[in-house]
Every structure is written in structure tokens, then in C-alpha cells.
Amino acid sequence: MGDTAVRVRNLRKAYGGRTVVDDVSFDIERGETFALLGPNGAGKSTTVEILEGYRRRTGGEVAVLGVDPESAGLEWKSRIGIVLQSTGQGGLFTVREQLRQFAGFYPRARDVDEVIAAVGLDEQAKTRISKLSGGQQRRVDVALGIIGRPELLFLDEPTTGFDPHARREFWELIRRLQAEGTTILLTTHYLDEAAQLADRVAVIADGRLRAIGPVDTIGGEEARVPVVRWIEGGEAREERTREPFDFATRLAARMGGAPAGLEIVRPSLEDVYLGLVAEASVDTPPGPPPGPADAGEPVIEEAAR
């Protein structure tokens, strides 16, 4: 494995006659923050569940921290942390009690009070979890995910329910974990979050990996060509060009001055992502509807979190 934390080759998952993950391959290096992006139903969650050891694959090869998740034991599970979209942790415990209980499951657990401070719950440490707001309960989920000092942390929509200020504070927490060398696999629908935190991103749509690379290069050069937008004759117009300033100068000369609404836009990660998803929807014909085998496949033994 060397410096590779996650290795995926030709991953496939099918339910009956319906393939939901089709020939997906990628690596995640140790210490890297890797964002896996995709619309609902794209195969993103299934891929992550296979890596976490929650779900069996149909085909392909997977190694997480050098181990196949399907056959991993407790020692491997103590090396990963998982923050699910929703955990429903017991509301009868206080924040500190819940964290102390989980800390006992790990050989190298972090100090409970340090974790409470890191997720910004000092004032709620003695409060029952059921009495916390939704955003505060989400912070408890994150605290439970990092209490075991994981080598690899899975973050599934971690800031859902956070207000903008809380999201920024959470980003600082993730940056501290990055500085410690924690490998992070992030799924999020907030494209600005992926742009802020990820070293590389991958876009999956209709079960296939559509693009992978650093945030500022994913999608290739064509996807990054700037767009000049302006209003002419009462209509909004735009032109993609590699020389946006020259184009805008010529446009202003032709119109006798700067046109209304003139702006030069360099495509953001969100723009590139939406373009890739749109291309996938055109390229992929509709598949068969979910059959009886799609619902209720039992997951394998739950991974530690």
C-alpha cells in the first residue's frame, strides 16, 4: 500500500439487474482530503458504504488502510472514524457521558474534554443530547467520529444543519485534523465546502466516475475556459473565450462603451460539477426501475465509529 490509504479498482455494485456503481477506480493518499461528489442516487453513498465495511460489493478490489473492508476485524475498525448523515445517538446521555463511553472502545482515544472543546460544545458538555439543537447534535456526531483518533475519517454530509458561522468553525476543525495527518474522505452537497477543504475531488454520476483531480484542474482545460457575460439589446448574452479581457475590450469598442451587465466569470468547482453531471445525464440512457432486490439488502457487520 505504501502511502495509499484507500485503493479502489473496478468497483461494481449491482442489485438484481440494476448496476448502481459501475467500474469505479481511484486512490486516496495518506494525509489527503478527498471529496467524492455526486447527485443523489449517483452511487456515491453506496461506494462509501463499501469502503466503510457496511455493504458488500459485487465486483472489483478494495483496500482501506491495507485491508479488505469485507473481511476486516476490530483492529481495523478502531483505525477508522465514521460520521454518518444521521446517527440517532442515545438522548439519555449527556455529551460528556456519550463521548466517555465511545472513548472506551478505542486503544488511542483522544481526551474527551479536548474533543468537546474542538467541536465547540463546552457549554453543553453536561447537557443531555436529546436537549441539544439539531446543529449541536451534529457536532456530537463529529465528536464521536474523531474520538478514536482515526487514521482515516469518513465524513458524510458533516455540516448538514449548520449555520454559516458553525460551518466555518467546523472547517477549522477539519484543517486541524489535516495538519495532524488524518486522511479524510468527504461527501458533501456544498461545493464551496469541497473547494475549501479537499486536496482532490472526484465526481460520480449514474454510477460512473466522471472526473477526478485537484480542485483547480478537475474537468480539464475546456471546463475552465472563462465566460464573458453582458446585456445587449435587452438580452443576456455570453461567450466562452480563453482571452476574456481582449474580447471584452473589443466588445466595448463595438458597442461604444462598456455594455450593461459586463462581467468575466471563471468557472468555479460548482460550475464544473454541474457541467459534468449534465453531461452524464445526456450520455447515460435510463436504466430499469429498481426491483425487489434493490430494497433491504442486509449490510454486513457495522464498522466502529
Q: What is the pLDDT of residue 298?
A: 46
> Which residues, in sequence order, are CB contacts of 228 under 8 Å at separation 6+?
238, 239, 240, 241, 244, 247, 248, 251, 262, 263, 264, 265
User: Poorest-confidence range of 118-127, 186-195, 283-292?
Assistant: 283-292
Name the average pLDDT for the chain: 86
Q: What is the pLDDT of residue 287?
A: 52
CA separation (Å) from 86 to 98, 121, 158, 160, 187? 16, 18, 9, 10, 14
R_g of the chain, CA atoms, integer Å: 22
Q: What is the DSSP string of 111-180?
A: PHHHHHHHTT-GGGTTSBGGGS-HHHHHHHHHHHHHTT--SEEEEESTTTT--HHHHHHHHHHHHHHHHT
Report the pLDDT averaged over residues 3-18: 93
Cα 102 from Cα 144, distance rounded (Å): 7
What is the tens place of the pLDDT at every residue in 26-49? Answer: 999 999 999 999 998 889 999 999
> Which residues, in sequence order, are CB contacts of 40 under 8 Å at separation 6+?
none
Class of domain 4-79+150-218+271-294: alpha beta
Query: What phi and psi values does residue 89 have, to the nearest 5 degrees?
Result: -60, 150
Report the pLDDT averaged over residues 79-100: 83
Q: What is the pLDDT of residue 282?
A: 67
Q: Is the pLDDT of residue 223 over 60?
A: yes
State the cell numbers at 86.
Answer: 444521521
Task: Tell me which residue has cell 474520538.
Answer: 147
Confidence category of residue 90, pLDDT binned at 50, 70, 90: low
Cα 148 from Cα 79, distance rounded (Å): 8
Report the pLDDT averaged over residues 161-176: 84
User: Poorest-confidence range of 125-129, 276-280, 300-304?
Assistant: 300-304
The structural domains of the chain, with segments of one domain joined by +, span 4-79+150-218+271-294, 225-266
H/E element holding 86? none
What is the tens place of the pLDDT at every residue in 225-260? Answer: 888 999 998 999 999 898 999 999 999 999 999 999
Q: Is the pLDDT of residue 302 over 50?
A: no
Are 299 and 49 contacting, i.e. CB atoms less than 8 angstroms apart? Answer: yes
Q: What is the pLDDT of residue 146?
A: 92
Confidence category of residue 142, pLDDT binned at 50, 70, 90: confident
Confidence category of residue 301, pLDDT binned at 50, 70, 90: very low
Write the DSSP symbol of residue 79: T
What is the tens place of the pLDDT at every residue in 100-118? Answer: 999 999 988 999 999 998 8
Q: What is the total residue count of the chain?
A: 305
Q: What is the DSSP string of 10-71?
A: EEEEEETTEEEEEEEEEEEETT-EEEEE--TTSSHHHHHHHHHTSS--SEEEEEETTB-GGG
Are 37 and 83 contacting, i.e. CB atoms less than 8 angstroms apart? Answer: no
Helices 134-146 & 95-103 angle (0-180, nearest 10)? 20
Report the pLDDT averaged over residues 61-67: 96
Phi-psi bin for 155: left (phi > 0), alpha (psi -120 to 50), beta? beta
Q: What is the pLDDT of residue 89?
A: 59
Report the pLDDT averaged over residues 44-68: 95
Give the percent of the chain with pLDDT over 90: 59
